[in-house]
Structure 1
Amino acid sequence: MSTFAIVLSLLILMFLAYRGYTVLLLAPVMAVLAVFLSGDIAQVLPIYTETFMRAMGNYMLAFFPIFLLGALFGQLMADSGAAMAIAQWIERTLGSRYASLTVVLACAILTYGGVSLFVVAFAIYPIARTLFKDADIPKRLIAPTIALGSFTFTMTALPGTPSIQNAMPIPYFGTNTFAAPGLGLIGGAIMFTLGYLWLRSRERKARLAGEGYGQHEDNEAVEVALENAAGQAGVHRRSMPLVLALLPLVLVIGINAVFTYAVFPGKDWSFLQASFPNLAPSRQAGLWALIIALTTSIVTVLLVGFGRWGNLRESINKGVLGSMLPIFNTASEVGYGAVIAGLAGFAIIRDAVLNVSSNPLISEAVAMNVLAGITGSSSGGLSIALQTLGADYLRMANEAGISPELLHRVAVMSAGVFDSLPHCGAVITLLSICKLTHRESYLNLAAMTIGAPLIALTAVIALGTALGSF
């Protein structure tokens, strides 16, 4: 009965999330439902306060700075004009002939530099629409193109990417954001290559069929809405030199690398033991490096944007407030995972997942994919999987002689495959921004966010199993 309760609560969570209900409320309600159906009625309130809320609080304690700084940095990059300057430079360099490549590269540069994928989608869509219209490429391909540059290789594969997904395994595996850099680069290259080839093939097929950009009544309305949104955010329209626009992005990766590989590894942390006896610096250094990098880049973008701000206070407030819902949603899912992990029926599910394969990497990939697919969120699925199974996978990896860095990279890449099923919030938001429907764009979008990443993940697991982490 307990196993049935877990499965039922997960299915209801997935269905209602697809229908648009907030996970912030769904997660605790579904956790209570699972406990109630398992027969532990008397323990509902203690489990909520002592298990759900404690796990939720611990997650926020660990990752709130990353969510906060990442959202603020992304908003400042957009409102300073830096994001637009980078996108326009790529547009001028490649031209409308390579419209899809221009959009992919613009999105990739911004997301790899730490700008939120949602901010990127809003910033790049007007440029993508103009490019696709000039090149007479069907509008339905805009969303898949933005997804390739924002939701795939820069989110899960490229070493050092400051995405929250890439930061989440750090305290569980004692790794850093540059885990398995060689394998990450290979996986990222596979995603980019396969995704771009698919886009080009769809463009050629549409051209042969006589299908162009099409007539879309929303064009003028969308442009007005975007202009109004930009005005409310205080965007200043003065152009920013490319060097200044790129500088904050370079600093995010560069400073993160310096502290990860040069400063922290040789640091003597013994002076912290008296004040923080339970602290394990090796498990936190990766997060500390990312916090320092994001903070430095925020200060930099404030300086390079001096004189270009329409309303700096509004930009800062919008960025900070924009971090609240994502962190609470994900933390709530972590609390749900902690409750589920404490139920008797979870032992059956855990053993089934852990025994899928004798190779811990394959077992881990299955677990991350299943949970990310059910929750419709890479960070949500990853958080639940790490909360409930992270220690088991680390133990299995150590027993099999598998590097924690390889475990890290496979976990993150796995969470970025089936997370983008039709009920995924990011997919729904992107289609909404582009004024497209699932019917128009989802199959091509799935080729970008499920097909190519799944092939890349398979290649990374195969190489990692044969050659180890590199």
Structure 2
Amino acid sequence: MMGVIGVIISLLLLMYLAYRGITVLVLAPILALFATIMSEGTSAHIMATYTEIFMKNFAGYCKSYFPIFLLGAIFGKLMDDSGAAKSIAHAIATKLGKDKAILAVVLSCGVLTYGGVSLFVVAFAVFPIATQLFREADIPKRLIPGAIALGSFTFTMTALPGTPQIQNAIPMPFFGTDAYAAPILGIVAGILMCAGGVTWLMYRAKKAAVAGEGYGDHPDENTNDIDTSKLPSFVLAIIPIIIVLVLNYVLGKTYYPSTDTSYLKDYGTALGKVKGIWSLIISLVVAIVFTIVTNRNRLKDAKKSVNQGAIGSLLAITNTSSEVGYGNVIQSLAAFAIIQNAILGISSNPLISEAISVNVLAGVTGSASGGMSIALGALGKQYLAMAQANGINPEVLHRIATLACGGFDSLPHNGAVITLLGICGATHKESYKDIGMCSVIIPICTLVIVLILANFGIV
């Protein structure tokens, strides 16, 4: 029992101290070893636990997903520096007009994140356009973070099939799936999240209008008008995104269709486990090369953009790898058997159990990718075995995992939420209610609906 208490205290400290600004790179190993001592007592082998469990799994996660983090960050940086991201956002905003300012911001973010651009790049690219649209429509500025969160943190991150975001890549090795797993469930979930979030934000805007609240006076606002003459055309800007989505689909469905892949046994793997990752890597590389070649005159220094993107990916991958190492240390403890039985005992249905465990751990860690990685690393094999025993398609496990990681992850201590508020110059008090509704409440309600549909055999 003492071990279980130690694990719980460790998790709570991870959440609290991360919220207080201490890096997970330091917290994760310290708190993992704290839980080990609490669970194992004097028999705890601290150094062996650190080097042979924490660091071994840290390295294993890097090996599997570093290319996605690296290429995604480079692609996002190039889309930003070339002006392609701003071109897409500006074109959508212009087409829809100020009367549909909220929808324009949501769709701009959605198109960019669905194409593989990181949510941080999207927030920086879209915010100046959002301020212009909201000011012209006299919609309170405090609603901008909610609109950006809806377009970046929700349906394009976890729901829509084919999204190259890391949250959609993590389940692939566990379940032998690709980025387009459970397409019907994903599309339904995406529509529900987008429609629900836009409806909420429009309701909030109308309520503010009735109360006489407009855009507001923001003397410290520092946004510059966009010089569209220096931006690439919308068609040229959107092609790299189309490349990522289409090539990823084609490769994921047809990769080595008639070629002997038995050689993979020598590497200790099988095509089904790596095909999804390989397809995504190739797609991003092609999109990166296309972006550099077609924007060589707009990119002031392509080498610098690539280098900055690569360096920027390091913190993201090491943070998530630390959380994975932490999760695997917890999994190795005797006390975890009690926690595991409690989680699996919540429901004999692996979909429900998976949804709860992923959501809770994403909330505790404040990270969608980190929470899902911990949950699947600890229980992925059990969920797959339970699903196969119940005739459940592994693609459904994939989609439920991605949807579940996008719920409690966006609680107030989430790093992306804090960064978004900083970019927009807003506070939790002003804007978190709308962020929370769009990226926590509505996604969780959507997850419940999808679980019901999945239990009727819809894939």
- Coarse TM-score class (shorter-chain normalised): over 0.9
Contact 2:264 2:270 in 1 (8 A): no
Contact 1:28 1:332 in 2 (8 A): yes
Deviation at 1:6, TM superposition (A): 0.4
Residue in 1 that maps onto 2:33: 32
The match for 2:250 among 240, 255, 258 is: 258
Separation of aligned partners in 2, 1:319 and 1:447: 31
Residue in 2 that maps onto 1:246: 238
SS at match of 2:45: helix
Residue in 2 that maps onto 1:126: 128
Alignment CA distance shift 1:390-1:122 (3 Å): same
Matched, 1:339 2:329: yes
Deviation at 1:266, TM superposition (A): 4.1
Separation of aligned partners in 1, 2:122 and 2:260: 39
Q: How does 1:8-23 map to 2 (within 5 A)?
A: 8-23=9-24
Paired residue type of 2:377: Q
Residue in 2 that maps onto 1:436: 426
**Structure 1 unpaired stretches of 5+:** 228-234
SS at match of 2:230: coil
Separation of aligned partners in 2, 1:237 and 1:73: 22
Separation of aligned partners in 2, 1:327 and 1:237: 36
SS at match of 1:323: helix
Residue in 2 that maps onto 1:349: 339
Separation of aligned partners in 2, 1:150 and 1:278: 36
Deviation at 1:193, TM superposition (A): 0.5
Q: How does 1:351-390 map to 2 (within 5 A)?
A: 351-390=341-380
Residue in 1 that maps onto 2:305: 315
Paired residue type of 1:247: I
Deviations 1:261-281 (A, max 9, x none): 1234444312444xx251212
Deviations 1:37-80 (A, max 9, x none): 22155401110000000000000000000000000000000100
Deviation at 1:311, TM superposition (A): 2.1
Deviation at 1:382, TM superposition (A): 0.5
Separation of aligned partners in 2, 1:23 and 1:277: 32
Contact 2:296 2:302 in 1 (8 A): no
Separation of aligned partners in 2, 1:238 and 1:249: 20
Residue in 1 that maps onto 2:117: 115
The match for 2:454 among 419, 443, 464 is: 464
Residue in 1 that maps onto 2:171: 169
Deviations 1:201-259 (A, max 9, x none): 0111000000001111221xx337x99xxxxxxx9972201111010000000000011
Deviation at 1:312, TM superposition (A): 1.8
SS at match of 1:175: coil
SS at match of 2:179: coil
The match for 1:426 among 387, 406, 416 is: 416
Deviations 1:64-103 (A, max 9, x none): 0000000000000010011111111112111111111110
Contact 1:81 1:236 in 2 (8 A): no
Q: How does 1:70-219 map to 2 (within 5 A)?
A: 70-219=72-221
Contact 2:87 2:228 in 1 (8 A): no
Deviates more, 1:153-162 or 1:307-316: 307-316
Matched, 1:326 2:332: no
> Would you say how many aligned residue pairs link Structure 1 and Structure 2?
457
Separation of aligned partners in 1, 2:14 and 2:160: 31
Deviations 1:274-300 (A, max 9, x none): xx2512121110100000101110001
Alignment CA distance shift 1:40-1:167 (3 Å): farther
Separation of aligned partners in 2, 1:120 and 1:13: 28
Separation of aligned partners in 2, 1:64 and 1:348: 33
Separation of aligned partners in 1, 2:337 and 2:30: 22
Separation of aligned partners in 2, 1:300 and 1:236: 21
Matched, 1:290 2:280: yes
Separation of aligned partners in 1, 2:133 and 2:312: 29
SS at match of 1:217: coil
Matched, 1:448 2:438: yes
Contact 1:402 1:468 in 2 (8 A): no
**Structure 2 unpaired stretches of 5+:** none
Separation of aligned partners in 2, 1:123 and 1:267: 43
| RMSD value, Cα | 1.5
Deviation at 1:467, TM superposition (A): 2.2
Paired residue type of 1:244: L
Contact 1:236 1:310 in 2 (8 A): no
Q: Percent same amino acid among aligned pairs?
A: 52
Separation of aligned partners in 1, 2:230 and 2:304: 18
Deviation at 1:310, TM superposition (A): 1.7
Alignment CA distance shift 1:307-1:277 (3 Å): closer
Structure 1 runs (4+) deviating above 6 angstroms are none
Residue in 2 that maps onto 1:59: 61
Separation of aligned partners in 2, 1:294 and 1:187: 25
Residue in 2 that maps onto 1:230: none
Contact 2:173 2:274 in 1 (8 A): yes
Separation of aligned partners in 2, 1:66 and 1:343: 30
Separation of aligned partners in 1, 2:199 and 2:229: 35
TM-score with structure 1 setting the length: 0.95
Contact 1:80 1:236 in 2 (8 A): no
Separation of aligned partners in 2, 1:197 and 1:74: 29
SS at match of 1:382: helix
Deviations 1:410-438 (A, max 9, x none): 00100001100110111111011101000
Deviation at 1:20, TM superposition (A): 1.0
Residue in 2 that maps onto 1:232: none
Deviation at 1:152, TM superposition (A): 0.2
Paired residue type of 1:260: G
Separation of aligned partners in 1, 2:131 and 2:414: 23
